[in-house]
Amino acid sequence: MIERLKKLFAAPGEHRARPAPHELAVAATALMVQLSRVDHDEDEQELRTIVDCAVKAHAVTHEEAQEILQDALAHADDATSLYQFTGQLNDSLDQPQKQQLLEHIWQVAFADGRIDKYEEHLIRRMADLLHLNHREYMQARHRAEASRD
């Protein structure tokens, strides 16, 4: 586990092999954790949504998703920028997969029943770092909002 985290947080200039699926899951989950913390009100519903998204997106068990979440929570404060996560995801995900990730990020934002202005701003930054255009950003938002009903 420690070795996987070291690889995840390696300096951007270091040569890395293609990340393992678990490493990608941790990177995606770390983005969701960052979002859940941006309004300084990380609630239980957001954390449950993160776990649910990890189960769906990464084909892991609920227990594995909980472990991924714990890894991401433990290292979220150590993150110096979103780029360390989005860079790794950009190298490994295609455009539809990045759109799906953004939809999951929006689901976390909607989990507490409101979108804070800081959450919306951070999601816009994440979309930009994932090289998603405004149309893709809005489509992900609308799909996430529609899935709440």
Domains in the chain: boundaries? 21-147
Res 10 pLDDT > 80: no
Phi and psi angles of residue 114, each rounded to the nearest 5 degrees, phi first? -150, 155
pTM higher than 0.85: no
Q: Could you give the angle at the alpha carbon of 104 between the alpha carbons of 9 and 66, nearest 5°?
A: 60
Q: How far is CA 68 from CA 27, 45, 63, 141, 147, in A?
A: 9, 17, 9, 24, 24
- Is residue 54 within 8 Å of residue 48, measured between CB atoms? no
- pLDDT level of residue 15 (50, 70, 90 thresholds): very low
Structure-block tokens of residue 86: 């989005």
- Is residue 105 within 8 Å of residue 35, measured between CB atoms? yes
Mean of the per-residue pLDDT values of the chain = 85
CATH, domain 21-147, list 1.10.3680.10, 3.20.20.370, 3.90.550.10, 1.10.10.10? 1.10.3680.10
